[in-house]
């Protein structure tokens, strides 16, 4: 087989070009630290790296949503903490208002104090989130969600909360309607209160009833009751009627219905105490609790009652007892919401840890798919450089293998 000199030259040049190209590719990999510059370098590895990169982008988006939710929850928790402090101050004022030695003007002064604290509380309920929204705006409100009107404070927002919309659905707002307007009335199971006198509904009783307590949840009926005191002390009796069924209700351990002020009475899984000096015909009602107790309604009622002049001690005691009971209920509801916010913050911390681990895993996957093994890369570069030098020397020797070289000699 006869080989022309030109073929040897072409083969040597082609070999040099291949080696030079490979050397340049390896040098580029060493410079970038990546073994895949384009998908054609390693289609499988490129696809693997792309999947990891997409997952990292998704985690980054979730982390941004998490931070937005965390900032909102921190502000909401702080607002609820401020609200609890104000509510505690109002409760202390109501406790002081029960002092029998206080005059009407002194109670009116306490009413003014509560009214001022109430206005501060309204500002907290309408607190902005710093981004054009409101912490307690629910599912969104372009204006402050609580509107103070002549008839009281109303919630103008939309119940619920705004979610980030990602897979984890982080909350960005608090349901203001639930937090400020859906406390459980009474003691949580039933509501006690005065019901006038049989001589006239506008005649206040001379005694007062406490908020009561549950003795046996299994016996609760959820019905309405009416309690009537009959006779003159010390020979008074008490009768309880289930107004839903019209039936008389027997008292536990008291078949004769003997009544003594300050002594507990119990029936149908409930117990309560009527104190003071009730007179013949005094009535008290018991109603099932409901989730409609509103913070600002309670405060407005407390202010109005404290400003009312010429009230008797029984009326004052009943009023203060009911308002303190209601304050405790709305405070408990706000505390429950605050606990929910705290739990959300704990969940955010746990989710953030999980996201960080997922992001680290995907970065490792991306690195394993496209990063260059630097030790191997340097070794390959040195080998290719040696091969390229050898190819150059070989080409130089091939150049001298011509007839003209021999003629010149």
pLDDT in tens, 196-235: 998 877 789 999 999 999 999 999 999 999 999 999 988 9
Buried b (16+ CB within 10 A) or exposed e, 46-81: bebbeebbebbebbeebeebbeebbebbebbbebbe
The predicted-structure confidence for 86-124, as pLDDT tens digits, reads as follows 999 999 999 999 888 899 999 999 999 999 999 999 999
Q: Which band of pLDDT confidence, cut at 50, 70 and 90, is reported for residue 409? A: low
- Give every CB contact of residue 367 below 8 A, 6+ residues apart in sequence: none
The predicted-structure confidence for 142-174, as pLDDT tens digits, reads as follows 789 999 999 899 999 888 888 887 767 888 889
pLDDT value of residue 132: 83
pLDDT value of residue 381: 62
Integer Cα distance of 153 and 146 in angstroms = 6
The predicted-structure confidence for 299-312, as pLDDT tens digits, reads as follows 999 999 999 999 98
DSSP strand pairing (146-149 vs 247-249): unpaired
**36 has pLDDT over 90:** no
Integer Cα distance of 116 and 110 in angstroms = 10
Q: CATH second-level architecture of 38-185+292-371?
A: Up-down Bundle (1.20)
- Residue spans of the domains in the chain: they are 1-33+374-409, 38-185+292-371, 190-289
Integer Cα distance of 23 and 29 in angstroms = 10
When the pLDDT of each residue in the chain is averaged and rounded to a whole number, the result is: 87
pLDDT value of residue 74: 94
| Percent of the chain surpassing pLDDT 90 | 58
**1 has pLDDT over 70:** no
pLDDT value of residue 108: 96
Judge if the upstream peptide bond of residue 124 is cis by omega within 30 degrees of 0: no
């Amino acid at each position: 087989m006869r080989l022309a000199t030109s073929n040897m030259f072409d083969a040597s040049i082609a070999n040099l070009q291949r080696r030079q190209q490979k050397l340049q590719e390896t040098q580029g990999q060493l410079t970038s630290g990546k073994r895949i510059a384009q998908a054609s370098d390693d289609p499988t590895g490129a696809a693997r790296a792309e999947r990891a990169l997409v997952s990292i982008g998704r985690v980054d988006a979730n982390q941004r949503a998490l931070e937005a939710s965390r900032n909102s929850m921190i502000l909401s928790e702080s607002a609820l903490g401020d609200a609890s402090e104000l509510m505690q101050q109002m409760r202390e004022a109501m406790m002081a208002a029960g002092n029998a030695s206080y005059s009407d003007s002194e109670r009116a002064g306490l009413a003014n104090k509560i009214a001022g604290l109430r206005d501060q509380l309204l500002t907290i309920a309408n607190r902005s989130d710093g981004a054009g929204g409101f912490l307690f705006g629910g599912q969104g409100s372009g204006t402050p969600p609580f509107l103070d009107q002549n008839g009281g404070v109303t919630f103008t927002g939309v119940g619920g909360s705004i979610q980030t919309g990602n897979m984890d659905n982080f909350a960005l707002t608090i349901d203001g309607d639930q937090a400020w307007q859906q406390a459980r009335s009474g003691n949580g199971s039933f509501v006690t209160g005065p019901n006038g006198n049989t001589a006239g509904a506008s005649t206040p009783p001379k005694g007062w009833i406490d908020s009561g307590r549950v003795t046996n949840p299994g016996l609760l009926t959820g019905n309405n009751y009416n309690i009537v005191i009959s006779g003159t002390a010390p020979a008074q009796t008490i009768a309880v009627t289930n107004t839903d069924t019209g039936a008389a209700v027997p008292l536990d351990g008291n078949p004769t219905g003997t009544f003594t002020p300050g002594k507990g009475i119990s029936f149908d899984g409930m117990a309560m105490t009527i104190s003071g000096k009730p007179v013949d015909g005094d009535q008290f009602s018991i109603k099932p609790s409901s989730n409609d107790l509103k913070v600002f309604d309670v405060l407005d009622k407390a202010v109005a009652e404290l400003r009312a002049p010429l009230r008797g001690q029984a009326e004052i005691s009943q009023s203060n007892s009911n308002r303190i009971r209601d304050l405790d209920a709305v405070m408990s509801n706000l505390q429950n919401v605050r606990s929910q916010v705290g739990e959300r913050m704990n969940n955010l911390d746990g989710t953030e840890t999980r996201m960080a681990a997922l992001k680290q895993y995907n970065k490792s996957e991306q690195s394993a798919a496209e990063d260059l093994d630097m030790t191997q890369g340097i070794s390959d570069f040195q080998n290719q450089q040696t091969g390229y030098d050898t190819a150059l020397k070989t080409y130089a020797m091939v150049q001298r293998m011509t007839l003209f070289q021999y003629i010149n000699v």
